[in-house]
């Protein structure tokens, strides 16, 4: 059994080997890459991405990245393509073939068929002199000196290189298209990622209570309001305007100094000029405000600066934003 020091050393060696290979791959990017990008960008069809073995697994990830960044893409397994799935390829589609060797039997059968249909083919291969490399319209070189596998057999560094090339394609395409965070939100409506891009303060506060007291209300009433509304805070209002804020922490600090609270009112312990946020602001902005001031609640206001509600850190946690 390997000792811990050997395990850690192997892990570091793998990471360093792959990072070195990716760094060197940057030098292989040439005019073929630019022409491939323009081909995809100007195409009226989709991008069909195909491969076999581990390259097929990488293809599915690149397809997912393309689709989520505004470039319609479809995965087609190279083996299935020559047994009927070639019907997925439409007239205006661009085909990306991924293969480390570029000489697999399936690719040798598939490539001429695609070329006969008149579709442009982009090769992602570690062997530019291969069948795939010499017959594709554009060749993206993902050559790596060796795999991270100690036997130089298991696809490791080579598949990482393919993945990085796919990311480079996706990023360049989204940049050309002017793909924005709003576009990203359109394709990612679910999960925490999407919520960071579309969820607003108004969405967070709509189901919350609206705790508020007058500045002349008694401390007893303040305590009841905070307890009943269950947000650990209340706004202090005068003439429909927020003039202060009282948290359960303010109550505790007051009680450590005195228990004679009969003559105290809200204005005696409230924090003046509390931080607020517009109800139309993004939820992520509310999180940033809470983090910047090391607080757990912030008051929301509307266009007229009227009190609209409370955003609590728990709201952000519940939505997966924090």
Residue 22 sits in which domain range? 4-179
Supply the CATH number for residue 232's domain. Answer: 3.10.580.10
Q: Per-residue confidence at 192, pLDDT binned at 50, 70, 90? A: low
Do 63 and 210 share a domain, yes or no? no
Contact predicate 94/39, CB 8 Å: yes
Residue 216 is classified by DSSP as: T
> What is the Cβ-side half-sphere exposure of residue 2, based on CA atoms within 13 angstroms?
8
3-state SS, one letter per residue, for 266-311: HHHHCEECCCEEECCCEHHHHHHHHHHHCCCEEEEECCCCCEEEEE
Do 148 and 59 share a domain, yes or no? yes
Do 154 and 253 share a domain, yes or no? no
Which two tokens mark 52? 């076999």
Residue 77 labeled ligand binder: yes
pLDDT at 184 over 70: yes
Which two tokens mark 279? 């109800």
Give per-residue pLDDT as tens, 237-296: 988 789 999 999 999 999 888 877 888 899 999 999 899 999 999 998 999 999 999 999
- State how far the Cα of 64 lies from the Cα of 152, in Å rounded to an integer: 29
Do 243 and 298 share a domain, yes or no? yes
Closest CA to 52 of 21, 76, 34: 76
Residue 185 lies in a domain: no
**Considering the entire predicted model, what is its pTM?**
0.69
């Amino acid at each position: 059994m390997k000792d811990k020091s050997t395990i850690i050393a192997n892990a570091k060696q793998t990471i360093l080997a792959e990072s070195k290979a990716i760094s060197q791959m940057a030098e292989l990017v040439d005019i073929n890459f630019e022409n491939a990008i323009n081909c995809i960008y100007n195409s009226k069809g989709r991008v069909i991405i195909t491969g076999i073995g581990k390259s097929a697994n990488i293809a599915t990830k690149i397809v997912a990245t393309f689709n989520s960044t505004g470039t319609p893409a479809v995965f087609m397994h190279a083996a299935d393509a020559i047994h009927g799935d070639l019907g997925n390829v439409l007239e205006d589609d661009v085909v990306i073939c991924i293969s480390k060797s570029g000489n697999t039997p399936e690719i040798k059968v598939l490539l001429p068929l695609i070329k006969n249909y008149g579709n442009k083919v982009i090769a992602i291969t570690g062997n530019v002199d291969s069948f795939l490399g010499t017959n594709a319209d554009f060749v993206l070189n993902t050559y790596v000196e060796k795999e991270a596998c100690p036997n130089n057999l298991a696809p490791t560094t080579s598949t990482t290189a393919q993945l990085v090339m796919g990311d480079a394609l996706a990023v360049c395409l989204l940049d050309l298209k002017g793909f924005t965070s709003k576009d990203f939100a359109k394709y990612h409506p679910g999960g925490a990622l999407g919520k960071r891009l579309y969820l607003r303060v108004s969405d967070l506060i709509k189901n919350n209570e609206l705790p508020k007291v007058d500045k002349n209300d008694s401390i007893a009433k303040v305590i009841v309001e905070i307890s009943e509304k269950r947000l650990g805070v209340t706004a202090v209002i005068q003439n429909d305007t927020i003039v202060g804020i009282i948290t359960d922490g303010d109550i505790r600090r007051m009680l450590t100094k005195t228990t004679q609270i009969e003559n105290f009112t809200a204005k005696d312990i409230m924090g003046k000029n509390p931080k607020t946020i517009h109800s139309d602001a993004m939820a992520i902005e509310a999180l940033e405000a809470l983090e910047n001031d090391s607080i757990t609640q912030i008051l929301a206001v509307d266009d007229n600066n009227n009190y609209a509600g409370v955003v609590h850190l728990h709201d952000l946690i519940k939505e997966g934003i924090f």
